Structure 1
Amino acid sequence: MRPGMASQMVFKKVAAPLAVGTSMQTRPVATQKMTPADSYDILVQQRKKRPTSPNLGIYKPQVTWILSSLNRVTGLTVAVPFYLFGLAYLASPLTGMHLDSASMAAAFGALPVAAKFGIKFLAALPFTFHSWNGVRHLVWDTGKAFNNQTVIRTGWSVVGLTVASTLYLALAY
């Protein structure tokens, strides 16, 4: 043992517990009587200051979670108009609306080419994205392509296939 080492060991064994015993932490606490309504109001005010969950501001945007969110959004974007149109089509004889195929084809045919392209593009985009991303999820359900690099690569593939198939559907038909 080196000289002076024994005194350091004694210091660690004796001085450290003494330091803990001499420093006292105090926390002033005061209580007050309040009604349940007042305590609930305080709770509501505290909740307003909390970040929403999930707090997306603390995350670095990544293709994985952006495409996951878009998959849900495009599912609704495809489903809601489908059901609304179905209900309108069923109610059209009662309301006097003309939603038959001939009327809709004539109305769409009267639009300018740019408007036709825009409508077809906006209708095809969520449909194609949700379809391609659905295929991606079906592959995952088989247990394949489920490591980080492959998930990112297939995510960008879905984006590319979505753009290509959307442009094709908007321009070809």
Structure 2
Amino acid sequence: MRTDMALVRCVRPLLFYRPPLQCCGALISRATLGTGVDAKPLIERNVRLGRPLSPHVGIYKFGNNMIMSITHRATGMMLAGGLVSFGIGMLITRDVNTMLSALQSLHLSPSIIFLEKLCCAFPFTYHTLNGLRHLAWDMAIGLNMPAIYRSSYVVLLLSLITTGIFAAWY
């Protein structure tokens, strides 16, 4: 029993730790926010010095890693949306052949069909290859900056090649 209480006393501060707030480049204790301490002079001083109210995306260099991360998340959302749409279509029609005949009845041109194939294949290939890249990172492979940049270009190139192959093949 005594060791359980000692463990609770050691773990509780870790569970409820909240770092201090940062406003206008200066640290403000959370305890001062509800105690009547006026933060207005601090904010006015920071405005006078030209400091931003809070950090914003504009302070970051928009680089390769950021683009790859955003694209990975976007392709994941596209895949999830496509899976949900396919599931709803299957609930409505209950047959894949009915869905395919509905698409064929639209009489789309081959170029539009090829473009649709590209739009379906790219999220799958990119998300899969970038997921393999992340699995390599989980095994501590390629974590230095040159390897990260090199692997991002390899993932992008391979995903474009495999997308073209999938769209032309099927």
Instruction: Indicate whether the TM-score tops 0.5.
Output: yes
Count of paired positions: 121
- Scaled by the length of structure 2, the TM-score of the pair is 0.63
* C-alpha distance in structure 2 between counterparts of 1:146 and 1:121, whole Å: 31
Correspondence 1:140 to 2:137 = yes
1:63-115 Cα offsets, whole Å, 9 max, x none, are: 1121012111111110122023213422x1xxxxx462222333444321011
Structure 1 match to 2:61: 60
* C-alpha distance in structure 1 between counterparts of 2:125 and 2:102, whole Å: 25
**92, 97, 104: which is aligned to 2:99?**
104
Q: CA 1:171–1:127 in 2, change beyond 3 Å: closer, same or farther?
A: same
Q: CA 1:87–1:108 in 2, change beyond 3 Å: closer, same or farther?
A: closer
Let me know the Cα RMSD of the aligned residues. Answer: 2.5
Structure 2 match to 1:161: 158
Correspondence 1:172 to 2:169 = yes
What amino acid sits opposite 2:100 in the alignment?
A: A
Q: Equivalent pairs: percent with the same residue?
A: 32
Correspondence 1:70 to 2:71 = yes
Structure 1 residue ranges without an equivalent (≥5): 1-48, 93-97
Structure 2 match to 1:127: 124
* C-alpha distance in structure 2 between counterparts of 1:99 and 1:169, whole Å: 26
Deviation at 1:160, TM superposition (A): 0.3
What amino acid sits opposite 1:76 in the alignment?
A: M
* C-alpha distance in structure 1 between counterparts of 2:120 and 2:94, whole Å: 18
- Scaled by the length of structure 1, the TM-score of the pair is 0.62
What amino acid sits opposite 1:150 in the alignment?
A: A
Structure 2 residue ranges without an equivalent (≥5): 1-51
CA contact (8 A) 2:90 2:96 kept: no
Correspondence 1:87 to 2:88 = yes
Q: CA 1:156–1:101 in 2, change beyond 3 Å: closer, same or farther?
A: same
CA contact (8 A) 2:130 2:155 kept: yes
Deviation at 1:59, TM superposition (A): 1.9
Query: 3-state DSSP class of the match of 2:78?
Result: helix
Determine which structure has more spread, i.e. the larger CA radius of gyration: 1
What amino acid sits opposite 2:125 in the alignment?
A: T
